[in-house]
Structure 1
Amino acid sequence: MAPQNSAVRPEADLDLADQLGHELVRFMRLITKAKSQVAKHGPDGIERAAYAILFCLVHEGPQRTSKLAESLHSEISTISRQSSSLVQHGLVERQADPEDGRACLLAPTAEGLRVFDENRKHRARWLAEVLGDWSQEERETLNELLARLNTGIEKNNPSLSDTAGTAQAKGASNA
């Protein structure tokens, strides 16, 4: 089925999308609350936010600070401060960039990989508890649909110009 222009979507589609939006906002609030109930700093003294850097490095490989800032939608100064903490704690190391010897790449160390794996296992245990009364089929379906939703969001990243165009189209159709 070919994607439709958002200005001509049936009202039922928009109602379902609005319900999904509500549940996603609720989900984000609950995740934020759960994260805030965990100490701001981990047991090793590292800011919890710095683990996002480690996550990117483990999953996407060594990167420059600027690419990490772009990936994490953060300021380079914030990424620099957090990555310095990760380096001081031995979780990340600086390596020469093979494409430009003047620049450096950040990469996880063996200890960084161990700490990442420990955090991943902790998250998996928590999620298994949350989904403990779901059937295997429901959990598999959730994973499939969430992956599909994430892919759709990645492919259809909204921009201000898209929003303005949609609003203009709606205004024209209501006139």
Structure 2
Amino acid sequence: MSDADQVARQLLALARLVKRAEPAPVEPMCLPLLAMLAEEGPFRAGEIAATLGVHPSTVSRQVAGLVRAGLVERRADPEDGRASPLVVTAAGRRILDAEHQRRAAQFGTALAGWSPEARARFADLLGCFVSDLQRTRPLPLDVIER
């Protein structure tokens, strides 16, 4: 098995563990969308679908649920009256903060037996991996043209 295969298997196992740890306060599939809006938004729904590489109807359902829950709101676009950029509300930011704290605590517990040097090295390597993965991931054309 190649190193890349081992990394892929471990990342899938990690994703399953994180999802099973404790129920999230919102639909787990909505958390990446909420985080993206908070970190990089505002975005239109079509931009979100293209960036996440999912079908627009999937984003529409998720956005509708987030709007109903008061975690995201639609704003009028001053340059294009037909557009409705999506923005995370204060309640949405509180959910993201709580989720971040929950996961940080979970990861902290898992890393508690590691030496400070091993934890720092792991954090550095993981950061490099994520940066390289983002850099090498092909982007949809409409995202590149923005």
TM-score > 0.5 by shorter chain: yes
* Preserved contact between residue 72 and residue 88 of structure 2 (Cα < 8 Å): yes
Candidates 76, 101, 115, aligned match of 1:135: 115
Q: Deviations along 1:65-103, whole A, 9 cap, x unmatched?
A: 111112222111101100110000000000112332210
Q: How does 1:135-154 map to 2 (within 5 A)?
A: 135-154=115-134
Comparing 101-110 with 144-153, which one deviates more in the overlay?
A: 144-153
Structure 1: which 5+ runs fail to align?
A: 1-14, 160-175
In the superposition, the TM-score normalised over structure 2's length comes to 0.84
From 73, 81, 96, give the equivalent of 1:93: 73
Alignment match, 2:5: 22
Q: Percent identity?
A: 34
Q: How does 1:1-175 map to 2 (within 5 A)?
A: 18-19=2-3, 21-38=4-21, 42-43=24-25, 46-157=26-137
Structure holding more strand per residue: 1
Which whole-Å CA distance do the structure 1 matches of 2:75 and 2:138 have between them? 35
Q: Distance in 1 between matches of 2:19 and 2:93?
A: 24
List 4+ stretches of structure 1 deviating above 6 A: none
**Distance between the aligned counterparts of 1:158 and 1:105, measured in 2?**
24
Q: 1:35 Cα shift? A: 4.1
Computing the radius of gyration from Cα coordinates, the structure with the larger value is 1
Paired amino acid for 1:33? R
Show structure 2 runs of 5+ residues with no match.
140-146
Distance in 2 of aligned mates of 1:50 and 1:68: 12
SS in 1 for 2:112: coil
Matched residue SS, 1:134: coil
Shift in Å, 1:42: 3.7
The alpha-carbon deviation at position 51 of structure 1 amounts to: 1.2
Residues 81-134 of structure 1 deviation map (CA, whole Å, 9 limit, x = unaligned): 001100000000001123322101111001000111001100000010111111
Report the CA distance shift for 1:35/1:128 in structure 2 as closer, same or farther (over 3 A): closer
CA deviation map 1:37-68 (0-9, x unaligned)? 257x644xx32101111110111121111111
Question: Alpha-carbon deviation of 1:31?
Answer: 2.2
Q: Distance in 1 between matches of 2:84 and 2:41?
A: 13
In structure 1, what is the Cα distance between the partners aligned to 2:60 and 2:53? 13
Tell me the equivalent position of 2:142. none
Shift of 1:158: 6.2
Partner SS for 1:85: helix
Aligned to 1:5: none
Aligned residues: 139
Whole-angstrom distance in 2 between the partners of 1:154 and 1:42 = 25
